[in-house]
Amino acid sequence: MDNLMPHAVTLVEVGPRDGFQFEKTVVPTDRKLSVIGRLVAAGLKQIQVASFVHPAKVPQMADADPLIRRLPRDDGVVYSALVLNRLGLSRALASGIPAVEISISASDAHSRKNAGMAHADALDQGLRMIGQAVSADLYVRASVQCTFGCVFEGQIPSARIADIIRRFVDHGAHVLALADTTGMGSPPVIKRVLDAVLPLTGRLPLALHLHDTRGLGLVNLMAALNYGVSIFDTALAGMGGCPFVPGAAGNIATEDTAHLMETLGICSGVDYRRVGVISREMEMFFRKTFPGRMHRVTDYAVSSA
């Protein structure tokens, strides 16, 4: 299927949301804005900047509303936020964010831990939210968590994933996404799920959100590239993880993915060296080493934030 490999890909930077919310040290709003602005300067055109969740449960996202109001405006950049329930959607609508991700877990056990409700209830609520957001002229990305497996339930039937995707399409989502929330994906699983899902997507773009829990993040990306998938979530330095998943690890690193695309002759539009500088600085800020590689194998000149 190599003939389906795209000539260009879109990297969706999720570090300011998925990455920061996994850390205990709260990133000040001004520093978040600086990081976001510099990610834009490095070539990222789609950035997920926040999630509308309870501030007591996720203190890192407590500044979502003022952060969004202060975002630098660039005609070529799309900022988005994650919403998990109706209250979150109401906050998103009031914030002025132009795009939202409405995410539902395919795993009942994970849904109960992550969203506080059964899968069936979360799906029904999510479909209503998609309709409401579309009616409000928001750009809606609908995503399925635990697509490629769940640490609590094991492998998720492809038929369940396909049914969710079919309903997302029917309710007007603009883009679809499959998330390897627990990092259990492998090339055979990626292929099995894509075989079930791609015939249902029509002309809607499909994105993959890959975690590197078992070291297969970029391997899984390669399997998806061969199916023609061209949108991938990444996080600077390989930050991130799900707080409700034991042993969760970060996303595939933005700089690693951009470098891989360069070696393949696939355009990402992202300068992995400039992202690497930001990643090095965030390691110093959090006083920890993140799993990404390209920001550590090159002797970057670290600038002040």
How far apart CA 133 and CA 179 sit, in angstroms, is 21
Residue 305 included in any domain:
no
* Type of residue found at 291: P
pLDDT band of 303, cuts 50, 70, 90: very low
Residue 33 included in any domain:
yes
| Count of domains forming the chain | 1
How far apart CA 133 and CA 252 sit, in angstroms, is 29
pLDDT in the model for residue 152: 86
pLDDT in the model for residue 3: 66
Question: Over the range 96-124, which residues count as b (16 or more CB within 10 Å of their CB) and which as e?
Answer: ebebbbbbbbbbbbbbbebbebebeebbe
Domain of residue 286, CATH code: 3.20.20.70
Residue 188 included in any domain:
yes
pLDDT in the model for residue 299: 58
Residue 289 included in any domain:
yes
Calculate mean pLDDT across residues 209-237. Answer: 96
pLDDT at residue 1 is higher than 60: no
pTM more than 0.75: yes
Are the beta carbons of 40 and 275 closer than 8 angstroms? Answer: no
Of 259, 261, 288, which Cα lies nearest the Cα of 275?
259
Are the beta carbons of 134 and 142 closer than 8 angstroms? Answer: no
Residues labelled catalytic: 242
Angle of CA points 11, 13, 14, to nearest 5°: 135
Pairing assessment for the beta strands 175-180 and 139-145 based on DSSP bridges: parallel
pLDDT at residue 298 is higher than 80: no
pLDDT at residue 304 is higher than 60: no
Reduced to 3 states (helix: H, G, I; strand: E, B; else coil), residue 215 is coil
pLDDT digit string, tens, across residues 127-183 = 999 999 999 999 999 999 999 998 888 899 999 999 999 999 999 999 999 999 989
Residue 304 included in any domain:
no
Q: Which residues pair with 82 in a beta bridge?
A: 51, 101
Pairing assessment for the beta strands 231-234 and 10-13 based on DSSP bridges: parallel
Residue 279 included in any domain:
yes
What are the CA-CA distances from residue 99 to residues 80, 137, 152, 235, 239 (Å)?
A: 5, 9, 31, 18, 22
Are the beta carbons of 218 and 252 closer than 8 angstroms? Answer: yes
* Type of residue found at 247: G
Give the whole-number percent of the chain exceeding pLDDT 90. 80
Which secondary-structure segment (H or E) carries 233?
A: strand 231-234
Question: Over the range 207-216, which residues count as b (16 or more CB within 10 Å of their CB) and which as e?
Answer: bbbbbbbbeb
- Non-local (6+) Cβ contacts of 287 within 8 A are none
In the chain the first and final C-alpha atoms are separated, in Å, by: 43
How far apart CA 193 and CA 159 sit, in angstroms, is 9
- Give the ranges where the chain is alpha helix by DSSP (H): 29-41, 64-69, 86-95, 108-114, 119-135, 158-170, 187-201, 217-225, 254-264, 272-286, 294-297
Of 200, 255, 264, 258, which Cα lies nearest the Cα of 226?
264
Q: Which phi-psi region, left, alpha or beta, contains residue 178 (left: φ > 0; alpha: ψ -120 to 50)?
A: beta
Residue 302 included in any domain:
no
Domain with 170, as residue range(s), is: 2-297
- Mean pLDDT, the chain, as a whole number? 92
